[in-house]
Each structure stands twice: as structure tokens, then as C-alpha cells.
Structure 1
Amino acid sequence: MRIGSAVSALTLLAAPAAAGIRLSGTERVRVETISGQARAGFNSSDTLLNFRTTLLAEYGSGPVQLAAELWDSRVFGADRRTPVSTNEVNTLELVQVFLKADLGEGLGANSRTSVQIGRLMLNLGSRRLVAADDYRNTTNGYTGLRVDYANKAGWQATAIYTLPQQRRPDRLDALLDNKTSPDHEGFDLVLWGGTVSKARVIGEVALEGTYIHLGERDRPSRPTRNRSLDTFGGRVLREPAIGKFDLEFEGFVQRGEVATSLAPNAALQSVRAWFFHADAGYTFRGAWKPRLSFDYDHASGDGRGGRFGRFDTLFGMRRADLAPAGLYNAIARTNLISPGVRLEAVPDKKTDWFVSYRPMWLASRFDSFSSTGVRDASGRSGRFAGHQVDSRIRRRVSPWLTLEADAVLLRKGRFLTEAPNAPPKRWTRYLSLNVSASF
């Protein structure tokens, strides 16, 4: 959607303020710095200033809601070797413009159904496959249809058919200049599927099933890997509660085809990939409500032979499980084996913090490690990637102002120091300071 249309849509929604229009917005300013970059091909050290501004207009009349949300994400202080992409820059984009209708008990007594159509932001299930990323400077948008269903027996279901918004511009020079260009959505990239869940299947334990299909094909002057991926998954969940044990187990199997390269006539190869996450914890009684948990993440990588084994997390988030995005952005749900331990607490109603430790290995020593781009095709650099300590503290200063600091320390292991294209330096240090205001 072009900028003129975006502004017109916001003006139309915002005009009759007396008729029930609700306006809200956010501004987040982030300063982040890194030294000893772990990703291949970038500056060893960088400092980046991020701005993210949102403006949401909503109108509700009975069971019908209209909304439009404008996002403006931009960065300053980057050069051509700074890892800047559409994850950081997407200026003046109308990410959401939708109509939502509440159908009440249209699908049965004691049930509730809603339909949402237009440009949407989506969070499905655990958010490991489909999410509206929040830590990242830009978000994921999807154009299409969403249907939600729930009943008093504890069943919930969500179905989607969408065209993911492909952020533009995506050329480095345009991103460094914070240029504006309308995002693209089309049938060259399609995402559909959904989730079904049942609460309290065994005591307080819930079950959830997921199926997501991604279809991708080339456009003129836009070569792709022509992915056709079917991802099936299941989750077992018991939510954290004071004085109780909690758990989460989730696994995905991924099948389909992917092209061997971006060449127009590249051969297709079959995909055999998978991912598993486990989390078990206990929340102690006390003023700070401390929770201690043990995690395990295992995502397949690409080995030798004709099959493709690298797990694709599609549009999933990473901050909640693994590590920050931004200048760090080294750890993702692919070619990774990592147990971990995490301690988190809520000292008061305005403050929360956590610290975690995880050692990391490559699932396949022949593939690049996670999202670093560091690779040894011979496999001679081993599989140990390093030790990571990750932490965050947030403080809500007032109802409209929040402060946040994120810090990561990575001691690189043998693979990240000996692989042929491994960046220099043994340690990676990352820090981000954030100020978020809302109205």
C-alpha cells in the first residue's frame, strides 16, 4: 500500500473523533552496541541508534471493529558493513488495516467466533513459527484472513490464510538512507494453516496442535529458494504459577521442497527438518516470585547429501527463548543444540528481570551455525559454538514510560574461532538500552 493511501486511511479513521475513535501510539528509542561480532561479514564493532514509532486508530461499533496502525522504523549510525536489513528499517508503513467482526455463538451454543480480514499482525500458539516480533525494530505483517473459535469446554482454534508482507525497500543503500517504499504482498509468498488447543486435558496441562504451510516462488527480478514447506507440531503446556512446577514441550517436523540455489532452473531438493523445545521450571513463593527453569532447544541443520535438513522457523520470534535480535541476532532456531538454565524474578509490580546461561553446539558440523553465517563445509572445526549469558531488566517508571536494558556475553567456542570465515576475537559483548513511551 502506498504512503498516500496509508495517510488517507489514517485520516479517514481519525476524523470523527466524537464517534468513538480511539487513538494510541508508542515511541521506542534504542541505543545498542556490540564488540566482537559473531556473525560473518560485518564490522567487528558497531553502535546503532534505533527509532520505532507506531500510531493506532481504532473504531468499534457493536460487534464490528475497524483499525489501522502505522509503523515507522528507522536506524542511524550504520555503514555498509553494519548488519542492517528490513529487520531494522521499514519506514511509514501501514502494517495493519483490518475489519474484525464478532459472530458470537454463530458456530454453536456456548461458543464464540470472530473473523478478521485485511492487513494483520499475528501471534499463533507459542509464536515460534508465526509472530509479530516485538524486540526487533520492525514487525511482521500479514495480509489475509483470520478466524478464531473458542467454547466453554476449553477448545480453541485459529485458522489463517495470508500473504506475508515483504518489507521494502530491501536494498542496503536504501535501508541506510531510511528510504520509504510500499511493502509487497502477493501470491508469490503464501502462508496458511492454524492451531487447535484444549485446556485442562490432564489437570492443568493443555495440549496444542499446529500446521503451517509456506509456499514461495520467483517473481521477475526477485529470485527465491522456491520453498514449499509443511510444518506439523504439537505442544504440551502447564503455565507457571506460584508454588507450582510448570512445563512446556513443543516439537515440529518440517517436510517439503527447496531449491538448491537462487538460479532460475535450480534443482529442487527434499526437506527433512525438525525442531524440539523443552522447558521445566518452578516458581518459588516470596516477594520476588523467583522462577528457576531448565531449557533445551534442538533444531536440525543441513548435512551432506541430497536432502535439506536446516529447520526454517518461518516468521517466529526468538527473544523469549534464545537471545536478542538487533546487532546481535546470532542465535536462531536452526542448526542448534543448546541446554540452558534461567532465573527470573519480579521484585515489584513495576520491575522484572532474568538471566540465563546456555552452552551451544551445532546439530550439523557441516552447516553454518544458527544465524551467524559461520561455516566449515569440511566439518573439521568441530561442533562446539560457545557459552552465552543473556540478561534483561525492565522498569516501568510510569504508566506511559518503560526503561529496559539487555546484555549478552558470548565466549566463542572452537567452531566460532576456527571455522574458515569466523570473525576475529574470542568474546562477543552486546548491550542495548531502551526507552519506550506510550499514549
Structure 2
Amino acid sequence: MKRFLVAGLSGLMMTVSAPAVAAASDEGVSPFTLKGSARIRYESLSDLFRAGSEGSDQMLSSRVRIHGEYDAGRVVFGGEFLDARAWLTDSGSVIPNGSVNAAELLQAYVRIPVEGGTIQAGRFVMNAGSGRLATEQGFRNSPNNFEGVRARFSPAENWAADVFYTAPVRIRPGDRNALENNTAQIDEAEWGTRFWGVHLTRTGLPNNLRLEAYLFGLNEENGADLLTPGLRLTRPRAAGQYDFDLEIMGQTGDQPVGGNTLDVRAWSAHAAAGYTFDAAWSPRLSAQLVYATGDDNPADARWNRFNPMFGGRRGDFGTTGLSFTHFRENLIAFGPRLDLREGPAAIVVQVQESRLASDTDRWRVAGLRDTVGQSGSRIGTLAEVRGTYWLKPDRLQIEAGTMVLFRGEFARTAPGAAASSDPVYGYVMLSAPF
């Protein structure tokens, strides 16, 4: 194990001193570009809070991404190599989804410039809108990726359109033994599942407002068949002014459950507002509220649990990895946040009170559920501090953080709840772009 750690740290340090591949030649700009990043992260969790678990946990993970493009004039060819691995795990460890994806082709695509935009086809990572329904998930070792077609263009001044039709790529390996041994297996697109969408953005509005409207679809073979329309209104952060982010998402369709097909009626909302002070460290004080419906009555003919599809979590719920506690389903989470940034340093402090939207539905992350609702609805209070600092500008960054979940009644007393203390999580990470 020590040799893996030494090798990982040595490789990371070498990338700091190694120059990036030049994008220019003696004859002008080269049609070939190459960039990448390497990182290594250690994380630990003092007490496991998931159903049937006990003790503590730790994980050492590494990730290397190398991305290249060749501009052939009328078409651009692109590809990205990913190597994501995890160590220090054992039979009792939690290995979060996406921690291991060794020697994999993350992206392989062609992009064709067209009037007013581009068309991209192949395998690619994708961020759509706020990322709450579709995002790359960069903190996770292996990001989300898709296969299909995507078009982005500007149909008129101050308008942008994003249209895609894809299948999600299944991250392999999936079996426990292969995960523990960092076994390399080829990822494959799940074409039995189609994920598609139309996303429109309008800028140039008064007071620098930005309006987004979209419709996303998820069609799973022998699974969910969902439509998710949404609206988002934002005002960007700026010194000496208020900003906000308001988004609401509805969800309709069909959900197979226990041999029956239920009518989906679910929704989610995000509301955040903040103020950035024109002072040292540019302090921004904000508050946010997240709501996502749960299934109120498992015996009725309706399905009320919101499906967040391929959305991100870290931006709204804090650090993920071994610690992540929140998912955008059956959730009410609210609290304050402080952001500080000065030169190469940035600090985030946030507190979130969290509850189940339905006390008879599950807490997904922990695998807990009380179908009669006698355990209450309070998950607990999540408190986090994290910071980043560029040790060498644009070449080497260190990030560290800690988080504690002060467990509420549901997290402590629901059937199968872990008989442990409040979990404390910590991590330190070195990242080197090149």
C-alpha cells in the first residue's frame, strides 16, 4: 500500500514541474491541443451512518485526466483518458459510486462547427444549466459521461440553446472484488436508457438577470419514463450587490413499482440569495433552501419521489466522497453559507438543517426508511468548513475540509440506523492541472 501512495505523490509532484504540451509551433498555432490534471485525495469518516454499518472508514484515491483535441478545420476530433483508483478500502468500507474507473476512455467525440454554434457526437461529459439534473460531477473520481449527440447554438441575440439526445455510460467495475482491486473494465453506454433535453437561456435582461427554461426526459427500458420541465432565474454575484438563484423543477410520467405502474407527480425547488461585500476577502453571506418531494403514501397509485437523474450534489449540499449525506430526493435542507476569497485562497463555511420531506419515505444515502413515520423526519444538522490554496499559481492546489453531521431523531432511531456517534469527515487533496 505504501508504494501506491509514494508512487501517486511522486507522479503528482512530477506534473507540477512538467510543462504542458505547447499549442503553438514555429509556423503558427498548432491544430493539436493537450491538457490534463492529476490529483490525489485522502479522506476519512469517524463513524458510518448507513444502515447495517459500524466503525470508521477511510479511502485514498487518485485520478489522472488527459484531454486532447485536433482541429482538422471543418471538424474537431477530441478524446480524454481517465484513470481513477482507490486504496485503503476493505470488506467493511463504503466505496462510493465512481471511485474506481481504471484506464478508461472518458471522452471520444467529433465536433462540427455550424453557423451560430456546434454539433457534437460521440462520448462526452456534459453540464446542462445549473447542473442540478445533469452535470459532470468533478469532485467524484469518475465524472458522469454520456454517448449521443449534442447541439449548442445561438438562435438570436441574447439567446442560447442546448439540445441533446444521449445514453448514460455505466461506470465499471461494479462488483465488490473488482472495485477493491482497481480492476480495469470497459465502460459501456446503457442504450436501454435515453436521456434527452432542450435547454434555453435568455440573457441581456434588466438588472443583469438570466432566465433559463428547459425540458429534460428520462426513458428507461422497464423503468422510469419521466418528463422534467423547469425554470430558473438568476442574478450573478458581484461586489456590493445582491444575487440570487431561483429554480423550480416539476416531474411527471410513469414509475414501475412492485409490478404496478404509478403516476409520477413530483417536484423540486432551489432558492438561494446572497450579498457580496466590497471588502477584503470579498465576503459573500448567503442562505439557501432546497426542497425535493418524497413519496407520501407507498400504498396509493401515485409516485411523489423526485428523481434528480444525473445532477450534482456538492454545490448545494457540500463535500461528497465518503461523507455525502444528501440527495435531491425526499429532502428539505436550509441554512446559511459564507464564502471568502482572496488571491490564491478561498474558504467556504456552511450549515444546513435537513429533514425528510416525507417521514414515511426513505433517506436514500443511509438506506433508512420508516414506513409508518414513527421515527420523525429530522436527519440532522450538517456543518462544514473547507478551503483551497494555490501553492503554485495554476500548477498546484491544496484543498482540505471537515464536516460533521449532528444526527437528528430519524438518523438515530429509524429501523436499522447505525448505533454510532455523530459522523465526522475530513479530507485533504492535492490537484495539479497541466
Is the 8 Å Cα contact of residues 93 and 183 (structure 1) preserved in structure 2? yes
Over 3 Å counting, the alpha-carbon distance change for 1:257 and 1:80 in structure 2 is farther
1:41 Cα deviation from its structure 2 partner: 3.3
Shift of 1:187: 2.3
Equivalence for 1:24: 35
**In structure 1, what is the equivalent of residue 234 of structure 2?**
237
Aligned pairs for 1:111-150 (under 5 A) are 112-150=116-154
Q: Percent identity?
A: 32
Residue 51, structure 1, aligned to residue 62, structure 2? yes
CA distance in 2: counterparts of 1:278 and 1:302, whole angstroms: 22
Which stretch has the larger CA shift, 195-204 or 206-215? 195-204
Structure 2 residue 410 is the aligned partner of structure 1 residue 406: no
Aligned residue for 2:186, secondary structure, equals coil
1:172 counterpart residue number: 176
2:312 counterpart (311, 317, 321):
317
| Residue in structure 2 matched with residue 39 of structure 1 by the alignment | 50
- Partners of 2:364 and 2:207 lie apart in 1 by 37
Residue in 2 aligned with 1:256? Answer: 253
1:10-64 deviations in whole A, cap 9, x for unaligned? xxxx9x9976322222111000000122222334310100111111121123353
Cα distance in structure 2, aligned partners of 1:400 and 1:412 = 39
* Number of positions where the alignment pairs a residue of Structure 1 with one of Structure 2: 406
Query: Is there any run of 5+ residues in structure 1 with no aligned partner, and where?
Result: 1-13, 107-111, 219-225
Structure 2 partner of 1:223: none
Instruction: Answer yes or no: is 1:422 the counterpart of 2:426.
Output: no
Deviations 1:182-214 (A, max 9, x none): 111142011001210101333211110111111
Residue equivalent to 1:67? 78
1:383 partnered with 2:377 = yes
In structure 2, runs of 5+ residues without a counterpart are 1-20
Residue of structure 2 equivalent to 1:355: 349
- Aligned residues: CA RMSD: 1.8
Matched, 1:284 2:288: no
- Residues 319, 121 of structure 1: CA spacing in aligned structure 2 closer, same or farther, 3 A cutoff? same
Partner of 2:167: 163
In structure 2, C-alpha distance between the alignment counterparts of 1:58 and 1:167, rounded to whole Å: 23
> Is 1:86–1:168's contact at 8 Å kept on the other side of the alignment?
no
Question: 2: CA distance between counterparts of 1:47 and 1:422?
Answer: 20
Amino acid at match of 1:188: G
Q: Is the 8 A contact 2:54 2:418 kept in 1?
A: no
- Superposed CA deviations along residues 231-275 of structure 1, whole A, max 9, x for unmatched, are 1110010011000100110010111112214xxxx2222221110
User: In structure 1, what residue type is equivalent to 2:221?
Assistant: R
Contact 1:85 1:172 in 2 (8 A): no
Say which of 359, 367, 371 aligns to 1:373: 367
> What residue number does 2:87 align with?
76
Give the counterpart of 1:193 among 197, 203, 207. 197
Secondary structure at the residue paired with 2:78? strand
Paired AA for residue 45 in structure 2: I
1:282 touches 1:293 (CA, 8 Å); kept in 2?
yes
SS, match of residue 317 in structure 2: coil
- CA shift digits 1:255-306 (9 cap, x unpaired): 1112214xxxx22222211100000000000121100001000111112122
Note if contact 1:26-1:436 (Cα within 8 Å) is conserved in structure 2.
Answer: yes
Q: Distance in 2 between matches of 1:186 and 1:288?
A: 46
User: Secondary structure of 1:408's match?
Assistant: strand
Do the aligned residues in 1 keep the contact of 2:384 with 2:402 (CA within 8 Å)?
A: yes
| TM-score where L is the length of structure 2 | 0.90
Determine the structure 2 residue equivalent to 1:331: 326
Normalization by structure 1: what TM-score?
Answer: 0.89
- 1:159 corresponds to which letter in structure 2? V
Does structure 1 retain, via aligned residues, the 8 Å contact 2:54–2:419? no
Q: How many Å separate the matches in 2 of 1:187 and 1:422?
A: 37
List per-residue Cα deviations over 1:324-383 (Å, max 9, x = no partner): 2211121111111111100001022x1111100111111000011242212111100111
Contact 2:227 2:251 (C-alpha < 8 Å) held by counterparts: yes
C-alpha change, 1:138 and 1:43, in structure 2 (3 Å) is: farther
Measure, in 2, the Cα distance between the counterparts of 1:235 and 1:375: 32
